[in-house]
Amino acid sequence: MQRGWIEVVSGVMFSGKSEELIRRVRRAVIARKRVQVFKSHLDDRYGGVYRIGTHDGRQIEAMPIHRSVQVVESVHRDVQVVAVDEAQFLDHGIVAVANHLADSGVRVIVAGTDMDFRGEPFGPIPELLAVAERIDKLQAICVVCGELATRNQRLIDGRPAPAEGPTIQVGGSESYEARCRACHEVPPVDRDQTEFLTGDRRDG
């Protein structure tokens, strides 16, 4: 029986996760493996919803999915390698899907950001890290101090976004920076901002 396994490429934005996924997919294709590639439909950056793209312009074709079960519904019976990008945007069912494929003899490559902009575990990535046979956590460079970056800094008009913002907000360098733990900032919403966000502001 063919042996399968799960490998996860995680880490901060701008650390090269998608680039590493593309590299592994291309090597599998060179090795004449039967490969299928999927991605979250929420990510339409760098080439559109039907392609996985990197910040430096590399791209491969991919099938966009709304729900994790679509991976199982779409894989061919003879597939040998399944790759999934931006897995942090998917439902937690991707963990069961990855385990099912690996148990069936498929090599499963998953890439995703492991922490949200608050520095907290993001979506199903922590569970995938727990069940994976291989884990690679990548870092970027902190734009503030130049040290290794492990956090995603969300910005609004150039300032750190407050903690009360939505967890999922797709963006690139216009709204995110890579930062280290020391330079990462997540300020609480002040009173005026809270009133504005909730609509509770009262004059007088």
Residues known to be catalytic: 86
CA dist., res. 47 & res. 117, Å (int): 24
Cβ 39 vs Cβ 48: under 8 Å: no
- The answer to the question of whether 2 is labelled as a binding residue is no
Identify the CA nearest to 39 among candidates 14, 22, 56, 26: 22
- In angstroms, the CA 109 to CA 144 distance is 32
Q: Is 145 annotated as a binding residue?
A: yes
The secondary structure of residue 88, as a DSSP letter, is G
Please tell me whether 68 is known to bind a ligand.
no
Q: Does 127 belong to an annotated binding site?
A: no
User: Which whole-number Å values give the CA distances from 64 to 52, 135, 153, in the listed order?
Assistant: 10, 24, 26
Read off the amino acid at residue 195: E
**Structural contact between residues 51 and 57, judged by C-beta atoms closer than 8 angstroms:** no
Q: Is 114 annotated as a binding residue?
A: no
Any binding-site annotation on 15?
yes
Residue 12 is labelled as binding a ligand: yes
Is 17 labelled a binding residue? yes
Q: Is 86 annotated as a binding residue?
A: yes
Tell me: is residue 16 an annotated ligand-binding position: yes
CA distances from 77 to 43, 73, 171 (A): 27, 10, 35
175 annotated ligand-binding residue: no
Residue 167: other Cβ atoms inside 10 A: 11
Strands (E), 91-133: 107-113
The answer to whether 14 is a known ligand-binding residue is: yes
Q: Output the known binding site for Zn(2+).
A: 142, 145, 180, 183
- Please give the annotated binding residues for ATP, written as ranges: 11-18, 85-88
- Going by the annotation, the residues of the binding site are 11-18, 85-88, 142, 145, 180, 183
